[in-house]
């Protein structure tokens, strides 16, 4: 079973009326891929499907369909492919091809309402329609790598993200494979959720490890300790339970131990669930700057359980809200006004789509650093004692000011306050930002909400003034 659609075709299967032709183009646009509707391809080349059914019968049509499915899946560039409702009948073909299959689920009542009266050859009799629906249901379950009901769900599945309230109790089945598991959590989270996670992991759990809270976990000494303690073989999986710092260091340990073992982040903070645990970036901090040593290591799965946020202290929730506001500004939607579980799902899906388009941060993924160039500089100047969310809130202010945009949304949602740090230390850290070129920072700004600008260079005096405006006298 495929784990995600990274670098492979994404195939949508589902019964008639599931929405494959409607949602497929939406998903394709979000992933930056070509959309292929196999039924449309057949009709352009062979004529109307109802005529093919009438003249050649269903068996002959399935042979034609299989040929077009193979042709679509053998194209080099990954695409989003909508398969006909009956393509699951040729499911052995999907097993042979390098595709990630998502079942678009629909109940039979909704499906019939959508297709009755259409010219679909298999939707003319309600009784046979319902019988076919129930006959195919187990076939979709057999062939699918994941199930979804909307575009966000498809994108999350494509990225290997499982978002569900109560998901932490399903860890043993959600962690892919059947090898041993070792669990990493910080000292605080281990006391709150550690027993729940250990019980959920069941007999596969072979060891547990604790790391310090927050940025103190992201050090070379903690990473080296994990290397010494781990006993996994190449079939094992490292599970990281905690906030963004925990998933960062555990993910880097997984990326480097035995030259790479599978890992599954289980984020317990709002920052982690909407941002840090998604996309495969792992890192530790060094004295010269934040996240300067790391690796891209895409998780085998990300398990997002909004119920874990119920124990989150108010300051940590505010930290996470800064990333929600950032995502809303990038998406052009006021996501921070949604109920928290929906915030999590929408933000996670947005980031997942961006990261699937640019998994190694060579282009548009840089937009996710909106406000972060300033935030990282402030954090470094504060010796990483400044909470990340507070730094991001300030960084968003600076980015909006340099963009010439209104800052009221950030002010009202996050109420950022200037921080006391050494101005020269902050400026030196900003010049060392990962996206700086020749010491000149490249910024992420906004032409307007929903229209990010990446790699913007502004005069040093303007950037310095924006940074200074965030620092208290």
pLDDT tens, position by position, 219-249 = 999 999 999 999 999 999 999 999 999 999 9
Q: Which domains does the chain have, with CATH numbers?
A: 9-156 (3.40.50.300), 162-312 (3.40.50.1970), 364-468 (1.20.1090.10)
**Is residue 157 within 8 Å of 345, Cβ to Cβ?**
no
Residue 1 has pLDDT above 70, yes or no: no
Residues in CB range of 427: below 8 A, 6 or more apart? 377, 464, 467
pLDDT tens profile 166-179? 999 999 999 999 99
Inform me whether the pLDDT recorded for 18 exceeds 80.
yes
Q: Convert the pLDDT of each residue in 126-174 to its tens digit.
A: 888 888 888 888 888 888 999 999 999 999 999 999 999 999 999 999 9
392 Cβ contact partners less than 8 Å away, ≥ 6 residues apart: 319, 322, 323, 326, 371, 372, 375
Does residue 203 surpass a pLDDT of 90? yes
Nearest-angstrom CA–CA distance, 334 and 343: 10
Q: Tell me: pLDDT of 209 over 90.
A: yes
Identify the band that residue 260 occupies on the pLDDT scale cut at 50, 70 and 90: very high
CA gap 467, 463 in Å, rounded:
6
Secondary structure string (H, E, C) spanning 158-199: HCCEEECCCHHHHHHHHCCCCCCEEEEEEHHHHHHHHHHHHH
Mean pLDDT computed over 344-366: 96
pLDDT score of 290: 80
Output the pLDDT for position 434.
65
Q: What is the pLDDT of residue 126?
A: 84
pLDDT of residue 355: 97
Over residues 425-452, the pLDDT tens digits come to 999 999 887 666 666 788 999 999 999 9
When comparing pLDDT for 160 and 286, which is higher? 160
pLDDT band at 291 (very low <50, low <70, confident <90, very high): confident
pLDDT of residue 195 exceeding 90, the answer is yes
pLDDT of amino acid 436? 65
Give the confidence band of 90 by pLDDT, cuts at 50, 70, 90.
low
% of the chain surpassing 90 pLDDT:
73
Closest to 221 in 3D by CA, of 251, 195, 262, 253: 253
Q: Is the pLDDT of residue 120 over 80?
A: no
Residues 404 and 411: their CA atoms lie apart, in Å, by 15
pLDDT surpassing 80 at residue 407: yes
What span, in angstroms and rounded, lies between the C-alpha atoms of 447 and 462? 17
In the predicted structure, residue 49 carries a pLDDT above the cut 90:
no
Q: Are 387 and 196 in contact (CB under 8 A)?
A: no
Instruction: With H, G, I as helix, E, B as strand and everything else as coil, classify residue 85.
Output: coil
| pLDDT at 467 > cutoff 90 | yes
91, pLDDT greater than 70: no
Cβ count within 10 A of residue 424:
9
Question: For strand 79-82 and strand 9-13, is the pairing parallel, antiparallel, or unpaired?
Answer: parallel
Q: Return the H-helix or E-strand segment holding 346.
A: helix 340-357
pLDDT value at 8 more than 70: yes
The confidence score (pLDDT) of residue 57 equals 83
């Amino acid at each position: 079973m495929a784990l995600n659609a990274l670098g492979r075709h994404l195939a949508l299967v589902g019964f008639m009326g599931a929405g494959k032709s409607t949602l497929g183009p939406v998903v394709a646009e979000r992933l930056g891929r070509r959309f292929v509707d196999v039924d449309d391809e057949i009709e352009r080349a062979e004529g109307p499907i109802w005529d093919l059914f009438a003249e050649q019968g269903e068996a002959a049509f399935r042979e034609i369909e299989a040929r077009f499915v193979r042709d679509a899946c053998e194209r080099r560039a990954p695409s989003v492919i909508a398969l006909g409702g009956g393509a699951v009948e040729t499911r052995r073909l999907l097993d042979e091809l390098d595709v990630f299959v998502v079942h678009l689920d629909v109940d039979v009542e909704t499906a019939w309402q959508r297709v009755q009266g259409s010219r679909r050859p298999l939707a003319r009799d309600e009784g046979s329609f319902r019988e076919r629906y129930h006959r195919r249901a187990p076939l979709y379950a057999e062939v699918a790598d994941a199930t979804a009901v909307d575009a966000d769900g498809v994108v999350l599945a494509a990225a290997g993200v499982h978002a569900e309230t109560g998901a932490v109790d399903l860890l043993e089945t959600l962690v892919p494979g059947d090898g041993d598991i070792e669990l990493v959590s910080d000292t605080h989270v281990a006391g709150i959720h550690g027993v729940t996670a250990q019980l959920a992991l069941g007999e596969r759990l072979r060891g547990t490890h604790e790391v310090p809270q927050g940025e103190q976990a992201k050090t070379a000494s903690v990473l080296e300790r994990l290397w010494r303690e781990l006993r996994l073989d190449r079939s094992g999986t490292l599970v990281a339970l905690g906030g963004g710092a925990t998933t960062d260091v555990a993910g880097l340990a997984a990326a480097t131990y035995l030259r790479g073992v599978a890992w599954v982040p289980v984020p317990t903070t709002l920052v982690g669930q909407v941002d840090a645990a998604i996309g495969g970036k792992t890192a530790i901090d060094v004295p010269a700057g934040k996240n300067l040593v790391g690796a891209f290591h895409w998780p085998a799965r990300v398990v997002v359980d909004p119920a874990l946020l119920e124990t989150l202290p108010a300051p940590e929730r505010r930290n996470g809200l800064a990333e929600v506001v950032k995502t809303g500004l990038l998406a052009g939607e006021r996501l921070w006004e949604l109920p928290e579980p929906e915030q999590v799902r929408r933000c996670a899906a947005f980031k997942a789509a961006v990261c699937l388009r640019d998994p190694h941060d060579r282009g548009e993924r840089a937009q996710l650093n909106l406000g972060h160039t300033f935030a990282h500089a402030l954090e470094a100047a504060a010796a990483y004692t400044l909470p990340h969310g507070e730094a991001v809130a300030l960084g968003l202010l600076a980015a909006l000011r340099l963009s010439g945009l209104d800052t009221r949304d950030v002010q009202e949602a996050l109420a950022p306050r200037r921080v006391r740090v050494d101005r020269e230390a902050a400026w030196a850290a900003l010049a060392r930002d990962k996206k700086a070129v020749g010491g000149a920072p490249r910024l992420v700004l906004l032409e307007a909400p929903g229209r990010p600008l990446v790699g913007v260079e502004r005069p040093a005096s303007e950037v310095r003034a924006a940074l200074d405006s965030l620092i208290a006298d």
